[in-house]
């Protein structure tokens, strides 16, 4: 079941005329996503991959009825793209952009609190994919996924793909796969996605992929312990990272003794989560 989007989701692409925007638009359409338009100021009236381009998000929404937007705008301009989508009444905004300045995201986060009708996924994320409805909004490769009962939520992009592929090879299909991104201020966090999976009748098991830095996984463990009834398996990346060194994502840094892999793994185990030593173990832990 789709917890973020379905076959009826209407998507617009902000930054559609750029190299990545154009390329990923083609892949989303090929997978089955209803991409109904694109946005690029000054390019209104053009066509990209068979969809019309508009000068503004509002213009695209008014003309197409789009309810979802995906942003392929360079990091320094991503905040403005997010504001424009929120102001246009977009229900779901997926921001792939990286890097987005932390100060920008602090302001966007505050703005979102004034507009609870809009949900943001990202920034610096791979988006989401729902195999049963053939919809993907983002860069998760569709060919690694297959429909089934396992929900996947992850901070990492490439680890998401690896785990989805391992699940598929083991005969464990997926309900929804989502990458929330690894930046310090995400639009959607682990607990919010876990709540959705817990309420989703077609998600029977859950995979959580975390990493060092911050306490999002520890907070998720507390939620799992107190509220989740469905089995959860997890993997925490960055066990060998030296303290004080950022590993990949902007949020993946252990400082002040908080955010170590061991702390997170222990918290998850105490919550009844089966924690893998490597991503390939996850299918066997779920079985």
Token code pair at residue 6: 């379905």
Q: How far apart are CA 173 and CA 242, in angstroms?
A: 35
Spatial separation of the C-alpha atoms in residues 89 and 62, rounded to whole Å: 10
- The helix or strand, by DSSP H or E, that contains position 10, with its residue range, turns out to be strand 10-14
Distance from C-alpha of 244 to C-alpha of 253, rounded to nearest angstrom: 6
Residue 249 bears catalytic tag: yes
In which order are the strands placed within the sheet that holds 274-275? Answer: 135-138, 127-130, 174-179, 147-154, 205-211, 232-237, 274-275
Q: Is 159 left (phi over 0), alpha (psi -120 to 50) or beta?
A: alpha
Tell which residue, 104, 118, 141, has the closest CA to residue 27: 141
DSSP 286: H
Which H, E and C letters describe 223-273, residue by residue?
A: HHHHHCCCCEEEEEECCCCCCCCCCCCCCCCCECCECCHHHHHHHHHHCCC
What does 140-184 look like in DSSP terms, one character per residue?
A: --GGG--EEEEEEEES-SHHHHHHHHHHHHTT--EEEEEE---SS
Task: Return the sign of the alpha-carbon dihedral for residues 48, 35, 174, 180.
Answer: positive
Considering 172, 249, 261, 264, which one is annotated as catalytic?
249
What sign has the CA pseudo-torsion 138, 144, 146, 149?
negative
Give the active site residues: 249
């Amino acid at each position: 079941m789709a917890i973020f989007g379905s076959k009826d989701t209407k998507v617009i692409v902000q930054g559609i005329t750029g190299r990545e925007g154009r390329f990923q638009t083609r892949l989303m359409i090929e997978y089955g996503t209803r991409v109904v338009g694109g946005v690029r100021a000054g390019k209104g009236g053009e066509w990209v991959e068979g969809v019309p381009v508009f000068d503004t998000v509002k213009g695209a929404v008014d003309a197409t009825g789009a309810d979802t937007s995906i942003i392929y705008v360079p990091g320094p301009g991503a905040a403005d793209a997010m504001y424009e989508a929120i102001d246009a009444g977009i229900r779901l905004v997926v921001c792939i952009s990286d890097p987005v300045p932390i100060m920008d995201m602090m302001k966007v986060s505050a703005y979102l609190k004034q507009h609870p009708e809009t949900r943001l996924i990202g920034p610096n994320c791979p988006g989401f994919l729902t195999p049963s409805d053939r919809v993907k909004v983002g860069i998760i490769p569709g060919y690694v996924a297959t429909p089934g009962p396992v929900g996947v939520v992850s901070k990492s992009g490439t680890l998401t793909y690896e785990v989805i592929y391992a699940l598929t090879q083991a005969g464990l299909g997926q309900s929804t796969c989502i990458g929330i991104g690894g930046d310090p201020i995400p639009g959607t966090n682990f607990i919010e996605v876990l709540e959705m999976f817990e309420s989703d009748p077609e998600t029977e098991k859950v995979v959580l992929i975390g990493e060092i830095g911050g306490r999002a996984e520890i907070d998720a463990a507390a939620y799992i312990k107190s509220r989740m009834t469905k089995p959860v398996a997890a993997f925490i990346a960055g066990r060998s990272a030296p303290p004080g060194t950022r590993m990949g994502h902007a949020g993946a840094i252990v400082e002040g003794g908080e955010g170590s892999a061991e702390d997170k793994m222990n918290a998850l185990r105490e919550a009844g989560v089966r924690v893998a030593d490597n991503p390939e173990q996850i299918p066997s832990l779920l079985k």
